[in-house]
């Protein structure tokens, strides 16, 4: 760890009451985050154990080779391990409502996160990005903007490299994507710049309601750094604090970073200054204009030059499975937006089109109300192909207002679309649902869509 261990230990003790002499730490979850926590604690000389509810976590074998002396409890949460713990470092994939965790908290154990540990370990600026949709895109955009000027940047968190592993990179600045699950258990983060891009129904199978979900997102604004606010989102706009430094962005109205029409051209703006034509942004959908404006607003806070940021945006091709253009076949465009695992992401994708699309949707709705999706589908889709666990919920919400087709799998969905498309159409996979009912993850779902589309060329 290329950091001052003594200073970190002092910070951990001051902020989290965590010291190697007295702390008995239980790491809950043996995934990538849990392993990053274990490496961090070992280097600082803490005593800890790990527990995982799975019988044989996929990463366990490699972990035991690297840390053979670490106590590991699997196949359920061991009550004895929780009983003696003073601190629980709970991985994002584990709900805080687990009985063992609830009982341990009641007995005085303190829940902390890997982000808390990270926040106690860095003196460099940190940019924190969350939101229901777009956070991976904005995180990657900003990371590339910083890297383009030769500055060493650590990019990770919920995206890619776990936050604690970024400490090995000895970066000059860190850009973190953070999920609601990470933020709900984070208390000491103080980012130089932070944003909640948007809040829409998601993860309601884990969060009690939208209020709790939004509150977890708001934790990204803990501390006294600059708040970057999306004024188009009423929930996010209400998070703004008059006593804090604030920068705004919008694709609907005037803001610090916004869109404006000048001489029949739509420009990305910083206040009254034209930065670049929106048409220079090589991404599908207007929601990506919002993502680009958010990235520039964050970049402005950390001192990036606007034209340097524009140069990066002109070359930015987007991320896989996020409004990714797969092919144009016979005048028909096929777009993979498999990362749209919630209603808000699907709505944003559909709103980005002027003409009606053919939509492939469905999967695991995670408790979301599909009636919220119906109005935008009725407005923006000429046909809908549904698949997966909660396809019937979407179909019911549409009330026969749009032609609906049912598919058993992705090959069948693509085949159905190929049979009804006309030149000029766009087929959009934007499921509005999670993927685990049928696929390994959203990447697997998107890859199967891409393969089925490319098979049409054979």
The answer to whether residues 210 and 351 belong to one domain is no
Per-residue pLDDT tens over the stretch 316-326:
988 888 888 89
Q: Maximum CA pair distance of the chain?
A: 70
Strands of the sheet containing 87-90, edge to edge, are 72-73, 48-51, 25-28, 87-90, 110-112
95-99, 111-115, 275-279, 406-410 — which is least confidently predicted? 95-99
CATH number, domain containing residue 394: 3.90.190.20
What would the mean pLDDT of 96-100 be, rounded to a whole number?
90
Residue 363 makes CB contacts below 8 A (sequence gap 6+) with: 341, 387, 388, 389, 390, 431, 432, 433, 434, 435, 436, 437, 438, 445
SS3 381: strand
Please give the Cα distance from 389 to 352 (Å, whole number). Answer: 27
Answer for the pair 297, 247: CB distance below 8 angstroms, yes or no.
yes
Do 248 and 182 belong to one domain? yes
Nearest to 292 by CA among 215, 227, 197: 197
Q: Comparing 244 with 211, which gets the higher pLDDT?
A: 244
Given the residues 135, 339, 366, 383, the one annotated as active site: 135
Q: Which residue has the higher pLDDT, 205 or 294?
A: 294
Q: Out of 89, 112, 135, pick the residue that ends a domain.
A: 112
What's residue 287's pLDDT?
Answer: 86
Q: Which residues contact 171 (CB under 8 A, 6 or more apart)?
A: 124, 152, 153, 154
Statement to judge: residues 171 and 296 lie in one domain: yes
Which has the closest alpha carbon to 384: 415, 406, 411, 412? 406
Average pLDDT over residues 359-364: 97
- Assess whether 125 and 15 both reside in one domain: no
Return d(Cα 432, Cα 132) in angstroms, integer. Answer: 12
Question: Are 220 and 241 within one domain?
Answer: yes
Q: Cβ-count burial of 440 within 10 angstroms (0-12 exposed, 13-18 middle, 19+ buried)? A: exposed
Give the number of other CB atoms < 10 A from CB of residue 7.
12
pLDDT at residue 95 tops 80? yes
Q: How confident is the model at residue 285, as a pLDDT? A: 78
Residues 170 and 246 in one domain: yes
Residues 65 and 167 in one domain: no
Residue 356 pLDDT: 95
What's the Cα-to-Cα distance from 355 to each of 88, 264, 297, 351, 426, rounded to whole Å?
51, 20, 30, 10, 9
SS3 category, 339: coil
Q: Cα separation of 48 and 81, whole Å?
A: 10
- Compute the average pLDDT of residues 280-290: 87
Planar angle of CA 217, 317, 363, nearest 5 degrees:
55
Q: Which of 388, 343, 397 shows the shortest CA–CA distance to 364?
A: 388
Among the candidates 51, 84, 112, a domain finishes at 112
**What is the three-class DSSP state of 440?**
coil
Q: Which of 208-222, 232-246, 297-311, 348-362 has the highest mean pLDDT?
A: 297-311
Do the Cβ atoms of 205 and 183 come closer than 8 Å? Answer: no
Q: What's residue 379's pLDDT? A: 95
Please report the pLDDT score of residue 419 as a whole number. 96
The arithmetic mean of pLDDT across residues 295-316, rounded, is: 97
Section 39-56 average pLDDT: 94
> Average pLDDT, stretch 32-53?
95
DSSP-based three-state secondary structure for 48: strand
In the annotation, is 158 catalytic? yes
Question: Is the pLDDT assigned to residue 203 strictly greater than 90?
Answer: no
For all residues of the chain together, what is the average pLDDT? 92
Give the pLDDT of residue 163: 97
Sheet with 193-196, edge to edge strand ranges: 153-157, 173-177, 126-130, 193-196, 226-230, 246-249, 257-262, 265-270, 273-277
Give percent of the chain with pLDDT exceeding 90.
Answer: 79
CA distances (Å), 64 to each of 26, 33, 56, 225, in order?
A: 16, 15, 12, 40
- Looking at residue 199, its pLDDT comes to 86
Residue 265 pLDDT > 60: yes
Q: What's the pLDDT at 366?
A: 86
Q: Are residues 51 and 131 in the same domain?
A: no
Report the distance separating Cα 124 and Cα 131, nearest Å.
23
Residue-level pLDDT at 105 = 95
- Residue 207: the pLDDT is 45
* Least confidently predicted of 112-121, 281-290, 404-413: 281-290
**Residue at a domain's end among 112, 136, 160:** 112
Note whether 436 and 348 are same-domain residues: yes
| CATH number, domain with residue 210 | 3.40.1190.10
Q: Are 418 and 294 in contact (CB under 8 A)?
A: no
Asked if residue 212 has pLDDT above 80, the reply is no
Question: Measured between alpha carbons, how far apart are the two ends of the chain, in Å?
Answer: 51
List 87, 133, 158, 219, catalytic entry: 158
Q: What is the mean pLDDT of residues 362-371?
A: 91
Query: Do 333 and 410 have their domain in common?
Result: yes
Count of domains for the chain: 3
pLDDT (average), residues 134-161: 95
Categorize the per-residue pLDDT at 201 as very low, low, confident or very high, splitting at 50, 70 and 90.
Answer: low
Residues 201 and 140 in one domain: yes
Cα gap 139→111, rounded to integer Å: 27
Q: Is 135 a catalytic residue?
A: yes
Domain of 62: which CATH number?
Answer: 3.40.50.720
The residue-averaged pLDDT of 144-170 equals 95
Q: What is the mean pLDDT of residues 377-390?
A: 96
Secondary structure class of 312 (helix, strand, coil): helix
Q: Which pLDDT score is estimated for 322? A: 85
pLDDT band at 354 (very low <50, low <70, confident <90, very high): confident
| In a shared domain, residues 126 and 96 | no
Predicted local distance difference test score (pLDDT) of residue 210: 60
Q: Measuring CA to CA, which residue among 123, 105, 109 is closest to residue 10?
A: 123
Q: Which residue among 110, 133, 198, 203 is the active-site one?
A: 203
Is the predicted pLDDT of residue 147 greater than 50, yes or no?
A: yes
Question: Which H helix or E strand runs over 284?
Answer: none
The count of other CB atoms within 10 Å of the CB of residue 389 is: 15
Name the region of 303 (left: φ>0; alpha: ψ -120 to 50; beta: rest): left
396: containing domain:
324-455
> pLDDT: is 76 or 363 the higher one?
363
Distances (CA, A) of 213 to 124, 130, 294: 29, 12, 21
Dist. CA 267–CA 265, nearest whole Å = 6
pLDDT at residue 1 in the model? 45
């Amino acid at each position: 760890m290329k950091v001052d261990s003594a200073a970190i230990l002092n910070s951990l003790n001051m902020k989290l009451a965590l010291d190697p002499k007295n702390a008995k730490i239980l790491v809950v979850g043996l995934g990538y985050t849990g392993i990053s926590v274990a490496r961090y604690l070992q280097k600082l000389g803490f005593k800890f154990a790990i527990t995982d509810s799975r019988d044989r976590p996929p990463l366990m074998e490699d972990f035991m080779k690297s840390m053979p002396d670490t106590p590991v409890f699997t196949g359920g949460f061991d009550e004895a391990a929780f009983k003696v713990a003073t601190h629980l470092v709970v991985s994002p994939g584990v709900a805080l409502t687990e009985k063992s965790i609830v009982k341990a908290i009641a007995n005085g154990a303190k829940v902390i996160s890997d982000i808390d540990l990270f926040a106690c370990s860095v003196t460099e600026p940190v940019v924190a990005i969350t939101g229901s949709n777009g956070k991976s895109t904005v995180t990657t955009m900003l990371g590339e903007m910083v890297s383009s000027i030769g500055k060493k940047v650590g990019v990770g968190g919920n995206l890619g490299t776990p936050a604690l592993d970024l400490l090995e990179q000895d970066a000059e600045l860190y850009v973190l994507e953070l999920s609601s699950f990470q933020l709900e258990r984070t208390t000491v983060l103080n980012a130089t710049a932070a944003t909640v891009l948007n809040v829409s129904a998601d993860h309601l199978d884990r969060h009690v309601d939208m209020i709790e979900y939004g509150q977890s997102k708001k934790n990204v604004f803990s501390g006294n750094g600059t708040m970057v606010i999306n004024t188009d989102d009423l929930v996010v706009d209400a998070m703004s604090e008059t006593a804090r430094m604030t920068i705004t962005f919008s694709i609907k109205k005037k803001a610090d970073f916004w869109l404006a029409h000048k001489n029949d051209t739509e420009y990305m703006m910083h206040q009254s200054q034209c930065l670049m034509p929106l048409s220079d942004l090589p991404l599908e959908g207007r929601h990506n204009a919002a993502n680009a404006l958010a990235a520039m607003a964050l970049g402005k806070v950390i001192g990036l030059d606007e034209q340097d940021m524009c140069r990066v945006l002109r070359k930015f091709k987007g991320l896989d499975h996020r409004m990714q253009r797969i092919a144009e076949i016979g005048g028909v465009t096929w777009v993979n937006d498999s990362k749209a695992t919630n209603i808000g992401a699907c709505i944003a994708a559909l709103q980005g089109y002027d003409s009606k699309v053919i939509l492939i949707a469905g999967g695991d709705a995670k408790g979301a109300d599909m009636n919220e999706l119906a109005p935008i589908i009725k407005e923006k889709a000429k046909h809908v192909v549904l698949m997966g666990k909660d396809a019937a919920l979407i179909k019911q919400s549409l009330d026969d207002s749009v032609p609906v087709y049912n598919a058993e799998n992705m090959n069948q969905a693509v085949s159905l679309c190929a049979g009804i498309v006309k030149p000029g159409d766009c087929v959009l996979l934007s499921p509005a649902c999670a993927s685990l009912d049928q696929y390994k993850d959203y990447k697997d779902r998107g890859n199967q869509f891409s393969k089925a589309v490319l098979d049409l060329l054979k």
